[in-house]
Chains A and B, each alone.
Chain A
């Protein structure tokens, strides 16, 4: 049996076709509130069950509990607020109101039955969830754009498949669960990524695959910051490497439509819990997972998992070091398995690789497989990365 969803049940509040049209009709004469990019990603993931047990944007009690105790008020572990901010120019609303949720272009993506309108201390939120109030942190920058008033309540989300990117790779949690069962997997490890695949990632994924039944490649395609490699380039890399280097029946690839919060350790736990909802029993946590700049310690995102009872997390973090090719070992290794000095290690920083690609220099095959390097080089020439 697969690992149960977080909190026991998968939320299912996503509608399409005629049911979606009904929602649109119902909000026709209601107030419409505006979703920003992150909230639109969140709405989708609450609706499709990825954020189970959440059924809507958080009310004040859950928000306070999450920030202070890393738990929902009802008990389950939850490390980051999932909130809807009141926007300038939107109508005033109160608990009891039924409102539509639209994007900046005016397209309706769902509705909300408002239960709570509350004031938040955004500086405290930044400090407690991001661990910093430094304005150069992208998460703090985001909070600085908000009013400080949040609106909570249960949502319904609308799915429009035809407008989505990566249509063949959009699996909801219930779909990955059915897929895993169809393949006979009882355990699966999720790999979250916002990078193209280099040999180091491949090595870590394959180490993990040795101990579980299958691998869910789960590239994040929600809102990220400028400078990250665009999702379509990353997806092309993965499609390419899956052709020849992975056993087909042991890997599934699907996109993870979450927005990055760059909250480091707390986001690592958040990412793990969401993957549990997708049916994964294990989650790969690298060094500085979901980190940005120098805001978090190298191992913070791994150590935070020790603060929780493994049973209440319900997903096992697999903590990995950076991997490299060691010419003395004659293979891929990490500081955990290799006894040799750095001079034997082939390791390039992201910055260095980017510079090489722009200059038309192929990274060594021990670092990046040539098939992947050529995709990256083409993208670099076009100015995509």
Chain B
């Protein structure tokens, strides 16, 4: 899988809970995810700025990891052959329709795995009954 940095644009770059939430969502689908909090930059002993963060994220992501981070500015790095950068406003992640279409685009581009089931488990039971009625499961 091509590496991906999801760059969440926040007012002050400080709301970290939304990063974790998105990280969990992608991880539950079987994606390899690294949530890169703003604090991580400081912990690495780097200057706290978006440029250092972007470089660190790009290095991680170029190994095929989905990296989720946030910043007040647009990142200084650009999408390339091994790396895709997708930017989304924090407020958009709270809008279900925009959130879903953002994730769906990532799925279609092969950047994050799709949900695990193809048919909802409740519907699966209903379909089994129909298949029985049609005689497909007689044997």
Cβ-based interface call for B109 (8 A):
yes
Q: Which of B106-139 contact A (CB under 8 A)?
A: 107-110, 113-115, 118-119, 123-124, 127-128, 130-131, 134-137, 139
Q: Say yes or no: B131 contacts A175, CB within 8 Å.
A: yes
What number of A residues sit within 8 Å (CB to CB) of B?
A: 27
B136: chain A residues at CB < 8 Å are: 171, 179, 252
Residue of A2, A8, A174 near B107 (CB, 8 A) is: A8
Q: Say yes or no: B139 contacts A4, CB within 8 Å.
A: no
A25: chain B residues at CB < 8 Å are: none
Q: Which of A335-349 contact B (CB under 8 A)?
A: none
Q: Say yes or no: A75 contacts B110, CB within 8 Å.
A: yes
**Given A5-B118, A179-B136: A75 in contact with B108 (beta carbons within 8 A):** yes
Cβ-based interface call for B42 (8 A):
no
Q: Say yes or no: A249 contacts B108, CB within 8 Å.
A: no
**Per-residue contact bits, chain A 135-159, to B (CB 8 Å; 1 contact, 0 not):** 0000000000000000000000000
Cβ-based interface call for B105 (8 A):
yes
Chain B binding surface, main DSSP class = loop
Nearest Cβ on chain B to A165's Cβ, whole angstroms: 15
Q: Say yes or no: B107 contacts A178, CB within 8 Å.
A: no
**Given A178-B119, A178-B124, A182-B137: A74 in contact with B113 (beta carbons within 8 A):** no
Q: Say yes or no: B108 contacts A72, CB within 8 Å.
A: yes
Residue in chain B with minimal CB distance to A52? B118
Q: Which of B107, B110, B119, B131 has the most CB of A within 10 A?
A: B119
Q: Say yes or no: B118 contacts A10, CB within 8 Å.
A: yes
A108–B124 alpha-carbon span in the complex (Å): 29
Residue of B119, B137, B139 near A174 (CB, 8 A) is: B119
Nearest Cβ on chain A to B29's Cβ, whole angstroms: 9
Cβ-based interface call for A307 (8 A):
no
Q: Say yes or no: B130 contacts A8, CB within 8 Å.
A: no
**Per-residue contact bits, chain A 1-31, to B (CB 8 Å; 1 contact, 0 not):** 0101101111000000000000000000000
Cβ-based interface call for A177 (8 A):
yes
B115: chain A residues at CB < 8 Å are: 8-9
A171–B127 alpha-carbon span in the complex (Å): 10
Residue of B105, B128, B131, B135 near A74 (CB, 8 A) is: B105
**Given A74-B105, A249-B139, A252-B136: A178 in contact with B131 (beta carbons within 8 A):** yes
Q: Which of A172-197 contact B (CB under 8 A)?
A: 174-175, 177-179, 181-183
Q: Say yes or no: B131 contacts A182, CB within 8 Å.
A: yes
**Given A168-B135, A175-B127, A178-B127: A74 in contact with B108 (beta carbons within 8 A):** yes
Q: Which of A42-81 contact B (CB under 8 A)?
A: 53, 72, 74-76
Nearest Cβ on chain B to A329's Cβ, whole angstroms: 33
Residue in chain B with minimal CB distance to A75? B109
Q: Say yes or no: B110 contacts A10, CB within 8 Å.
A: no
A5–B123 alpha-carbon span in the complex (Å): 17
**Per-residue contact bits, chain A 212-255, to B (CB 8 Å; 1 contact, 0 not):** 00000000000000000000000000000000000011001000
Q: Say yes or no: B108 contacts A76, CB within 8 Å.
A: yes
A97: chain B residues at CB < 8 Å are: none
Q: Say yes or no: B119 contacts A7, CB within 8 Å.
A: no
Q: Say yes or no: B107 contacts A7, CB within 8 Å.
A: yes
Cβ-based interface call for A312 (8 A):
yes
**Per-residue contact bits, chain A 303-323, to B (CB 8 Å; 1 contact, 0 not):** 000000000100000000000
A312: chain B residues at CB < 8 Å are: 110
Q: Say yes or no: A8 contacts B114, CB within 8 Å.
A: yes
A183: chain B residues at CB < 8 Å are: 137
Q: Say yes or no: A174 contacts B127, CB within 8 Å.
A: yes
Residue in chain A with minimal CB distance to B29? A8
A168–B131 alpha-carbon span in the complex (Å): 9
Q: Say yes or no: A168 contacts B134, CB within 8 Å.
A: yes
A183–B130 alpha-carbon span in the complex (Å): 15
A74–B84 alpha-carbon span in the complex (Å): 13
Given A8-B114, A75-B108, 16 new contacts (CB under 8 A): A4-B114, A4-B118, A5-B118, A7-B107, A8-B115, A74-B108, A75-B110, A76-B110, A174-B118, A174-B119, A177-B119, A178-B119, A179-B136, A183-B137, A248-B139, A312-B110
Question: What are some 13 contacts across the A-B interface (CB < 8 A)?
Answer: A7-B107, A8-B107, A8-B108, A74-B108, A75-B110, A76-B110, A174-B119, A174-B127, A175-B127, A177-B118, A178-B131, A179-B137, A249-B139
Interface residues in chain B, defined as those with a beta carbon under 8 Å from any beta carbon in chain A: 104-105, 107-110, 113-115, 118-119, 123-124, 127-128, 130-131, 134-137, 139
In the A-B complex, the 3 residue pairs with the closest CB atoms? A8-B114, A74-B108, A75-B109
